[in-house]
Amino acid sequence: MKADGGRPLLVTGMPRSATSWVGKMLEVSGRFVYVNEPLNPRHPPGRSPGVLCADVEHAFQYVSEENERLWLAAFQDTVRLRYHPLAELRRNRSPYDLGRLVKYGSSFTLGRVLGRSALIDDPYAVFAAPWLARRLGCRVVVIVRSPVGVVSSYKRLGWTPNLAGLLGQPALLRDWLDPFRTDIAAALARPDDPVGQASLLWRAVYATVAAYRDQVPGLEIVRHEDLSLDPVPAFAKLYGHLGLPFGERVERAVVASSSGGGGQAAHRWSLSRGGVSKSGAKPLDSRAHLEVWKERLPPEEIARIRDLTADVASLYGYATENGRP
């Protein structure tokens, strides 16, 4: 496949599905400027008008032609690497924010000079993906991780999905999530069941992604497990599908990012001259990390997550010896 020169790229999925890892490995190509979660409703990394000059109202914001007047100009500037320093300063002025302003302002400017494209790593943009593809020409890569792995990570972090943000978007419910409307309302009535809520969010996200196959030309759906089991050939394949050159520098970065100590929790990726480094933690051993959820979840909880997500998980080939995801 020929390279799609100049086209922006969206890497999305569900939070805790390793979109950051994949985004950083694609950034190593030298073709992109990395943009971290502009639709995240929390600051940081979201609510940074220098990066995306629009107000994010919901987690998992739905964007379509129906409401694009609120988003089109802002996203056009983002993918064109046009930073808005004054808008950023009006909202965010802490020392940390000033550091981010310098970082993004300089990376956007350098990216324009070098002819690079925007790479948006944002799981919160999963319901905006078709619009970003249609209106801004984004290539879309969706990362899928097994439901047990994702829900285990949510539980470890103490996260509860913001399902109310889905119900608060009537157009999203109408266009994509109507089959889940009743389940979402019922889950919100059980706030003491974060495992059930995270499992439901996984189903809603990846059932929608499965429907994108007919909506998003060139959509790439990649399983986290396939990347983790054999990272070098898996990333080489993804690079090929995206028309990117997979050279020695990229291979070194992939190896460096996935061959650390077993069971290490990995976060805060950063690029270095030698490949990839991480602040505060060693790179994970991607194979050993695959089933760390077995140490975190009791068997009955694993079985429950599998049962709750089985219908959608089967669409992505997640199965155990007994045929369950």
* Full residue range of the structural domain in which residue 286 is found: 9-316
Question: What is the Cα 157 distance to its own chain's centre?
Answer: 17
The reported pTM is 0.92
Give the CATH number for residue 289: 3.40.50.300
Q: Could you read off the pLDDT of 160-187 as tens digits, one per residue? A: 999 999 999 999 999 999 999 999 999 9
Q: Could you read off the pLDDT of 125-159 as tens digits, one per residue? A: 999 999 999 999 999 999 999 999 999 999 999 99
Residue 288 lies in a domain: yes
**Tell me, what's the pLDDT at 64?**
98
CA distance 226 to 65: 34
Residue 247 lies in a domain: yes
CA distance 322 to 325: 9
Residue 323 lies in a domain: no
Residue 55 lies in a domain: yes
3-state secondary structure of 278: strand
What is the arithmetic mean of pLDDT over 93-106? 97
Kindly give the interhelix angle for 248-258 and 231-241, rounded to the nearest 10 degrees.
130
Residue 4 lies in a domain: no
Structure tokens given for 36: 């971290």
What is the arithmetic mean of pLDDT over 188-199? 96
Q: Could you read off the pLDDT of 2-22 as tens digits, one per residue? A: 445 579 999 999 999 999 999
pLDDT exceeds cutoff 70 at 267: no
**Tell me, what's the pLDDT at 85?**
98
What residues contact 218, with CB distance under 8 A and at least 6 apart?
139, 140
Domain count within the chain? 1
What is the rounded average pLDDT for all residues in the chain? Answer: 91
pLDDT exceeds cutoff 70 at 105: yes
**Tell me, what's the pLDDT at 5?**
52
What is the arithmetic mean of pLDDT over 272-299? 67
Q: Are the beta carbons of 255 and 196 closer than 8 angstroms?
A: no
Task: Give whole-number Cα distances, 30 to 25, 198, 240, 300, in Å.
Answer: 10, 35, 15, 45
Tell me which residue has tokens 């189903």: 203
Q: How confident is the model at residue 281 (pLDDT cuts 50, 70, 90)?
A: very low
Q: What residue type is assigned to position 272 of the chain? A: S
CB atoms within 10 A of CB 278: 19
Residue 3 lies in a domain: no
CA distance 12 to 226: 16
Residue 23 lies in a domain: yes
Q: How confident is the model at residue 266 (pLDDT cuts 50, 70, 90)?
A: very low
CA distance 320 to 222: 19
Q: Could you read off the pLDDT of 53-86 as tens digits, one per residue? A: 999 999 999 999 999 999 999 999 999 999 999 9
Reported as half-sphere exposure (CB side, CA atoms, 13 A), residue 282 has a value of 10
Counting residues of the chain whose pLDDT is more than 70, the rounded percentage is 89
CA distance 78 to 107: 12
pLDDT exceeds cutoff 60 at 273: no
Which H or E run contains 96? helix 95-114
Residue 321 lies in a domain: no
